[in-house]
Amino acid sequence: MSDALPVISAHYAEIALKGRNRHMFIKRLKNNMFRALVGEPVRAINHVESRLLVRLEEAGALDRVAEKLQRVFGIQ
């Protein structure tokens, strides 16, 4: 059994087209993701290039978290 914790890679679309205020849109998207995942075992949400990585505490929550993220506006 692997000790690696699961990670979900969430891609976003139109935010990449924004100019100097892109960081504000990314921050808003991260906040919306955290709100959608309240009560889930989320360790962190990190911005890496043109995606947000959702790091989970337990593998059993992977499908449930992925389903909730599909309802967050701006996630592809």
CB burial of 64-76 (b: ≥16 within 10 Å; e: otherwise) equals ebeebbeebebbe
pLDDT of residue 16: 60
Global pTM?
A: 0.86
For 11-60, write each residue's pLDDT tens digit.
987 766 667 888 888 999 999 999 999 999 999 999 998 899 999 999 99
d(CA 7, CA 11): 13
Helix axes 62-69, 22-36, angle to 10 degrees: 130
Domain of 44, in residue numbers: 7-69
Number of domains in the chain: 1
Contact 16, 26 (CB under 8 A): no
Beta-carbon count within 10 A of 41 CB: 17
**pLDDT value of position 2:** 60
